[in-house]
């Protein structure tokens, strides 16, 4: 029997009333496992009203007490780690180790947010003029919303709402309708940790729900992670309605491999970076730029057997190294890109099409795919495939390789593998990329730094978590004050309760 999911509003589960539902699949089997209600405009407005009603009390709660709630939330995540990972894996498809790893990365942001009393300290300047002092403070934006993607249904929400709640805002989460259960469960755990009703609400839905969040004047800020096309729409529409918006979008991340690189290290790094989570992550390495034919030949020689031997299986197979992709449509899109690469003349070294597992014949599996001799005019080079496909491009020189990174539409992440400090320094300074790795294939910053790309990978002025997260979810207020100096002769001060005489 298919399970029917719900929204989470004002501290309780709410059945959907719109009459519209979306199917949630188990990607390992291809079966429909749940149905998620798609909210009507009125249901979204109800969640907004709940968050607005909770805002005055929550924003007035001392930061240290808000931090205590987050400390308890952290402990509950650790207690329920296996349960949360199971929710991620059964709806997204990634293996359990990947699921737990992603939850742990989200948990790091929760831990950073627990330090909010220190992070909200303002600045003070004494005697900027005679008797005049200036101080600044960061105050909450108000009701905030997050629209999160299918690929990290625990981690990305935890990049958003812990920072928003720590800084005194209330929050509405709109998770992907493809894997919504983890977002709902996180909200329940936050309520169990002591967050008042309405502080964190979860509304499931599609474009109808999103458009209400973008247009309702009560919502002051929107956080988004997803595709560039939708991110541009979120940013433009939200800004047009007077909202603060951060939209983290698509990517095509390059890994430049220099002739002096440790090729065994580079190959091992590329395996995890290209094929982990079935390549369904915005920081996946999908292009390896080898400098020189000798470097390319040696790299491909090391990669091919590793990719061929990747163990594909369902999330609950302890031997599985890579699970299925999220939907039947995703599988078809990825395989179509492989077809395009072959038609364009790229050399298909390892073909991931046509994977069928015994007992899981209807699952959404795509095997690891490796292309060589890819050129920059091919769609498999230009487009974000969002699947387990790695393209090897051959560059004659370091400068040519670097220019490929600079010229690409996206600017999320890039890496260079080299033993040459001069090349590494030049690369990190020159590329127009938001996150850069040196001998690190996926340069995702730790929680107390900030995550965000450049170019078409980010719309808005703020990255997520770290101090950028604090700044995004707060508004700066500066107070300039003059106080009269000296005590006037004859002034009377009353220190006795109930007395009007001062004696």
Q: Which residues, 6+ apart, have CB-to-CB distance to 329 below 8 Å?
A: none
pLDDT at res. 483: 84
Q: Are residues 370 and 389 in the same domain?
A: yes
Number of residues assigned to the chain: 503
Annotate 237-289 with DSSP letters as a single string: HHHHTT-EEEEE----EEEEE-TTS-HHHHHHHHHHHHHGGGG-STT-EEEEE
Beta bridge partners of 137: 477
Give this prediction's pTM: 0.93
pLDDT at res. 460: 95
Domain-located, residue 208: yes
Q: Are residues 137 and 111 in the same domain?
A: yes
Q: Are residues 95 and 140 in the same domain?
A: yes
DSSP class of residue 445 equals: P
Domain-located, residue 121: yes
The tens digit of pLDDT for each residue in 96-129 reads 999 999 999 999 999 999 999 999 999 999 999 9
CATH of the domain at 95: 3.40.605.10
Taking the C-alpha atoms of 176, 177, 182 and 186 in order, what is their torsion angle to the nearest 10 degrees?
70
8 Å CB contact between 324 and 313 = no
Interatomic CA distance for residues 109 and 100, integer angstroms:
15
Annotate 455-466 with DSSP letters as a single string: ETTEESS--BSH
pLDDT bucket at 484, cuts 50 / 70 / 90 = confident
Q: Are residues 321 and 390 in the same domain?
A: yes
Number of domains in the chain: 2
- Rounded to the nearest integer, the mean pLDDT of the chain is 95
Domain-located, residue 501: no
The tens digit of pLDDT for each residue in 157-181 reads 999 999 999 999 999 999 999 999 9
The tens digit of pLDDT for each residue in 212-239 reads 999 999 999 999 999 999 999 999 999 9
Q: Pull the structure tokens for residue 77.
A: 């995540």
Q: Are residues 152 and 282 in the same domain?
A: no
Task: Tell me how far the alpha carbon of residue 405 is from its chain's centroid.
Answer: 22
Catalytic residue status for 182: no
CB count, 10 Å around CB of 65? 11
Q: Are residues 333 and 310 in the same domain?
A: yes
pLDDT at res. 489: 64
CATH of the domain at 373: 3.40.309.10
Interatomic CA distance for residues 144 and 162, integer angstroms:
12
Span 447-470, average pLDDT? 96
Q: Are residues 309 and 218 in the same domain?
A: no
Per-residue pLDDT at 278 exceeds 60: yes
Q: Pull the structure tokens for residue 376.
A: 């920059």
Domain-located, residue 493: no
Domain-located, residue 80: yes
- The domain boundary, picked from 385, 404, 438, lies at 438
The tens digit of pLDDT for each residue in 310-328 reads 999 999 999 999 999 999 9
Q: Is 58 left (phi over 0), alpha (psi -120 to 50) or beta?
A: alpha
8 Å CB contact between 200 and 161 = yes
Q: Pull the structure tokens for residue 470.
A: 């604090």
Q: Are residues 109 and 228 in the same domain?
A: yes
Strands 219-225 and 244-248: parallel
Of the candidates 114, 144, 182, 282, the residue annotated as catalytic is: 282
Question: In percent, how much of the chain has pLDDT > 90?
Answer: 95
pLDDT at res. 9: 98
Interatomic CA distance for residues 330 and 326, integer angstroms:
6
Per-residue pLDDT at 458 exceeds 60: yes
The tens digit of pLDDT for each residue in 386-395 reads 999 999 999 9
Of 74, 49, 78, the closest CA to residue 217 belongs to: 49
Q: Are residues 197 and 296 in the same domain?
A: no
Task: Quote the domain boundaries for residue 238.
Answer: 3-249+457-480
8 Å CB contact between 204 and 180 = yes
Q: Are residues 261 and 242 in the same domain?
A: no
Q: Are residues 379 and 345 in the same domain?
A: yes
Per-residue pLDDT at 481 exceeds 50: yes
Domain-located, residue 282: yes
pLDDT at res. 503: 38
Q: Are residues 304 and 431 in the same domain?
A: yes
Domain-located, residue 443: no
Domain-located, residue 503: no
Strands 435-438 and 413-417: parallel
Backbone CA torsion sign across 149, 153, 159, 162: positive
């Amino acid at each position: 029997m298919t399970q029917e999911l719900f929204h989470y509003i004002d501290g309780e589960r709410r059945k959907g009333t719109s009459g519209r539902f979306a199917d949630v699949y188990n990607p390992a089997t291809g079966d429909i496992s749940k149905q998620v209600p798609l909210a009507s405009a009125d249901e979204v407005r109800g969640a907004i009203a709940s968050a607005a009603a909770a805002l005055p009390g929550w924003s007035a709660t001392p930061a240290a007490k808000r931090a205590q709630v987050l400390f308890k939330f952290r402990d509950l995540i650790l207690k329920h780690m296996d349960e949360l990972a199971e929710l991620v894996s059964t709806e997204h498809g990634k293996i359990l180790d990947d699921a737990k790893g992603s939850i742990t990365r989200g948990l790091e942001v929760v831990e950073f947010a627990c330090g909010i009393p220190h992070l909200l300290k303002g600045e003070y300047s004494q005697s900027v003029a005679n008797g005049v002092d200036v101080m600044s403070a960061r105050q909450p934006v108000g009701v905030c919303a997050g629209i999160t993607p299918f690929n990290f249904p625990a981690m990305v929400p935890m990049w958003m709402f812990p920072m928003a709640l720590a800084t005194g805002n209330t929050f509405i989460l709109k998770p992907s309708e493809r894997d919504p259960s983890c977002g709902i469960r996180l909200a329940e755990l936050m309520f169990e940790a002591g967050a008042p009703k309405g502080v964190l609400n979860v509304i499931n839905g599609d474009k109808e729900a999103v458009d209400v969040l973008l247009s309702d004047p009560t919502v002051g800020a929107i956080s988004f992670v997803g595709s560039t096309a939708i991110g541009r729409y979120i940013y433009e529409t939200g800004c047009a309605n007077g909202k603060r918006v951060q939209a983290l979008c698509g990517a095509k991340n390059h890994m430049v491999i220099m002739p002096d690189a440790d090729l065994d290290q580079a190959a091992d790094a590329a395996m995890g970076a290209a094929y982990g989570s079935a390549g369904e992550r915005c920081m996946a390495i999908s292009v390896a730029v080898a400098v020189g034919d000798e470097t390319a030949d040696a790299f491909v020689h090391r990669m091919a057997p590793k990719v061929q031997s990747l163990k594909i299986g369902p999330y609950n197979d302890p031997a599985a190294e890579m699970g299925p992709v999220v939907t039947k449509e995703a599988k078809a899109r990825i395989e179509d890109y492989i077809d395009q690469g072959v038609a364009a003349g790229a050399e298909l070294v390892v073909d991931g099409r046509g994977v069928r597992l015994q007992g899981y014949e209807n699952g959404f599996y795509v095997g690891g795919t490796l292309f060589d001799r890819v050129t920059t005019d091919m769609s498999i080079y230009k487009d974000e495939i969002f699947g387990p496909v790695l393209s090897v491009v051959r560059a004659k020189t370091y400068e040519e390789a670097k220019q490929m990174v600079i010229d690409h539409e996206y600017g999320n992440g890039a890496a260079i593998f080299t033993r040459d400090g001069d090349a590494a320094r030049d690369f990190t300074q020159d590329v127009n990329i938001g996150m850069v790795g040196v001998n690190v294939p996926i340069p995702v910053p730790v929680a107390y730094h900030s995550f965000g790309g450049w170019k078409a990978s980010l719309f808005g002025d703020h990255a997520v978590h770290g101090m950028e997260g604090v700044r995004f979810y707060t508004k700066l207020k500066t107070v300039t004050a003059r106080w009269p100096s000296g005590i006037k002769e004859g002034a009377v001060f009353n220190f006795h309760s109930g007395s009007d005489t001062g004696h």
